[in-house]
Amino acid sequence: MGRFDGAHVLVTGASRGLGRAVAVAFAREGAFVRIHYQGRADQAAVTLEQVRSAGGSGELLRFDLRDKAQIEEGLRAVLAGGRPLDVLVNNAAILCDAPAALLSSEDFDEVLAVNLSGLFTCSRAAARSMLARGKGAIVNVASVAALRASPGQAAYSASKAGVLALTRTLAVELGPKGVRVNAVVPGLFDEGMGPRLDRRVRERMLEATPAGRPGRASELCEAVLFLASDQASYVLGHALVVDGGLSL
């Protein structure tokens, strides 16, 4: 018996990295997983194959997080089959490294459109279905960049700080109606954004991490699964920091 036997889970940004790891982790626990992607159909197909190999089942779901109409249509398609959504994991995000003085307005706006506005639109659409049943869980993936200065990541930091604020507000609004909203706050990991960071930034983060190493994808997955599960039934609006002490 898995913790999520028969559960319907949507993971955004699941075509690779930590999103893929989270999708497979839910599948291993018996969930039906919707694998969201935007432009990497081949990589999303690899995730689906791994989901099935892990003993779960799932389907691919494509929409652009910068387009509110596409998000709404995508969530309508998810719910049209009559299977209610039990868990939404808002994992998708983009990064634009540049000093704030050199960061274009267009790049700043795009990062916030995906990382914050897109997350809000997904959450709103999912919450409507969950509220109708009086049950559901939303787990937002923030970042340690929301808690400490991250030079060169002004847009990303701002978007992830917004994710934490939005998590708290949604938790207060939706919690009384049975929908729990929480966040995980990853530090430096060996998958996801970590390998794509500038080498010098990565080295500084590693030096500042008391654990002395990057996190493993499995360690973040366990945090996400916990917050989405009934084991966390009394946890609302919490930001679970999984960073090896980087934010201390």
174-177's contacts with Cβ under 8 Å and 24+ in sequence apart are: 174/127, 174/130, 174/131, 174/138, 175/236, 175/237, 177/131, 177/134
Q: How far is residue 208's CA from residue 176's CA, in Å, rounded to a whole number? A: 39
Q: Which residue in 51, 156, 171, 236 is the catalytic one? A: 156
Centre a 10 Å sphere on the Cβ of residue 148 and count the other Cβ atoms it contains. Answer: 15
Q: How far is residue 236's CA from residue 226's CA, in Å, rounded to a whole number? A: 12
Centre a 10 Å sphere on the Cβ of residue 60 and count the other Cβ atoms it contains. Answer: 15
For residues 3 and 225, the answer to whether their CB atoms sit within 8 Å is yes
Amino acid at 13: G
Which run of H or of E encompasses 243? none
Is 37 a residue of the active site?
Answer: no
Active-site amino acid positions: 156
